[in-house]
Amino acid sequence: MSAGHGGWPGAAPEISPDVDGCMSCDHGVVTAVTQARPRPTTPPLARRRDGRLIAGVAGGVADHLGVQVLWVRITFVLLGVTGGAGFIAYLLLWILVRQERADVVRTLPRGERQQALGLAALAGGGGLAAAALGNTAVGWIVGPLGVALVGAAVVWREADEAQRRRWTAGARFGGVSVGRNAVLRVVAGAVFVAVGIAVFLLGNLQMGQLQFALLAVLATLVGVAVITVPWWLKLVRDLGEERRERIVSSERAEIAAHLHDSVLQTLALIQRQSDQPREVLRLARGQERELRHWLYGPTGYGRGAAGEPALDSGLADAITVAAAEVEDTYAIDVRPVVVGDRPLDDGLRALVLASREAMVNAAKHAEVGEVSVYVEVEADDVHVFVRDRGIGFDPADVPTDRHGLADSVHGRMTRHGGTVRLRSSPGEGAEVHLRMPSDGAAPAEDRPNTTQEAPTCPQT
């Protein structure tokens, strides 16, 4: 019971972001995209499209609350039998909550279908019993009004189906394509509604001819309104969706224009500095990086991969930024390959700075055009490998100008419980292996130091 009570009033505010979903895209394209994805934590309230028995309301509520469908169904039935609230809640949710996206595939197991059918039958039976015991509200609902509601349900369900077909057909046709069976179902539903309302009027009211005629007209209007509810709602939603798409596409055009502009500028600069190969390389690489980052995100999974928390300031992003700075400063190629991601903590921040130092070191001393960076996030620790195929050196006899490696890399890592391993020999290039345990505890006195350095600061 309590789950249902908690679910139903709670559902009302949940509906609003859904209905005015077109508002949220004012913030930009990215919002629209992330919103379209199912979030693993609390998915927005949406009726199930696949694997539903009546309208997918119970399933949707269960997905939203993260409880089993069975409990939601039982709650609806209990609320329905003991006063009719369950029926009304179900219908309101059906009307107000939109269906989930068409590409979510579910299956309704046989056992669950039977269980749900049983519960639905129980609801009907329980309602009848309650009516027999003299509960007038329930009596109306399982009586003539129930007939009308069943009719409306048939029509509405048909509307859902038609909507699904329209979406799968890619919305190529302006109108809703309706098959013969669908027409039959809609007509049958309409008849049910009409009969239900008529019986309700005849059974409950005693009146003169004029009053009766007026009421009949009114009832017909109500019936028509009830039957056409899905289409009205669809009209409103389609308008909202169209508006949303317009905003998204104009946003896209704007960003593309900005990018094209920046590419043109780079090309102009390259032409002007064509006698300085180093500068040309730096410009081209910088532009490439910007474009690539924008297109595919820091790790190449697109912007904010699905199923992963958005780690805009995560390790992958930080490493990519550090590599970009080194590229820009030393006009070499640093292409990080990152497997996994994790939000930055103090230990990881130190790791990023140490990695940056190692990259700078390779860029300065290895005399190569390319440095490989590989980052792997594991359950217990994070590994970074910075490798070059440059001139190499003998670690036993590090020249004095290589203080950078000794101090900032070693010092940073050990302060946070990490380790550094250096491998190199003359002529063989060098590889720095940094390892940071994931619970790299940060000593308090180091924190201000780290956070000060954390923003982008090429110290050269």
Instruction: Check: CB of residue 418 under 8 Å from CB of residue 352.
Output: no
* Nearest-angstrom CA–CA distance, 449 and 312: 23
Please identify, among the stretches 229-237, 294-302, 345-353, 358-366, the one whose residues bind another protein according to the rule CB under 8 A.
Answer: 294-302
327 forms part of the interface with another protein (CB under 8 A): no
255 forms part of the interface with another protein (CB under 8 A): yes
Which residue among 252, 278, 421, 447 contacts another protein (CB under 8 A)?
252
Over the window 90 to 129, marking each residue x when it contacts another protein by CB under 8 A and - when it does not, the resulting string is -------------x--------------------------
Torsion of CA 45, 49, 51, 56, to 10 degrees: 50
385 forms part of the interface with another protein (CB under 8 A): yes
Which residue among 121, 191, 306, 406 contacts another protein (CB under 8 A)?
306
Q: In what order do the strands lie in the sheet with 419-424?
A: 333-339, 370-377, 381-388, 430-437, 419-424
Nearer to another protein by C-beta: 222 or 256?
A: 256
Which residue among 165, 237, 303, 364 contacts another protein (CB under 8 A)?
303
39 forms part of the interface with another protein (CB under 8 A): no
Q: Please count the residues of this chain forming the interface with another protein, following the rule CB under 8 A.
A: 36
42 forms part of the interface with another protein (CB under 8 A): no
* Nearest-angstrom CA–CA distance, 47 and 59: 7
Please identify, among the stretches 111-119, 121-129, 295-303, 321-329, the one whose residues bind another protein according to the rule CB under 8 A.
Answer: 295-303
Distance in Å, CB of 42 to another protein, minimum? 16
Which residue among 118, 179, 203, 300 contacts another protein (CB under 8 A)?
300
* Nearest-angstrom CA–CA distance, 52 and 11: 19
Please identify, among the stretches 163-171, 196-204, 223-231, 377-385, the one whose residues bind another protein according to the rule CB under 8 A.
Answer: 377-385
Instruction: Check: CB of residue 311 under 8 Å from CB of residue 343.
Output: yes
Residue appearing with tokens 């939000």: 343
Name the token pair of 59: 């399933």
343 forms part of the interface with another protein (CB under 8 A): no
* Nearest-angstrom CA–CA distance, 247 and 359: 42
Which residue among 292, 364, 402, 410 contacts another protein (CB under 8 A)?
292
Name the token pair of 138: 């329930």
Name the site residues for another protein (rule: CB under 8 A). Answer: 29, 33, 36-37, 40, 103, 252, 255-256, 292, 295-296, 299-303, 305-308, 333, 335, 337-340, 372, 374, 376-377, 379, 385, 387, 389, 431
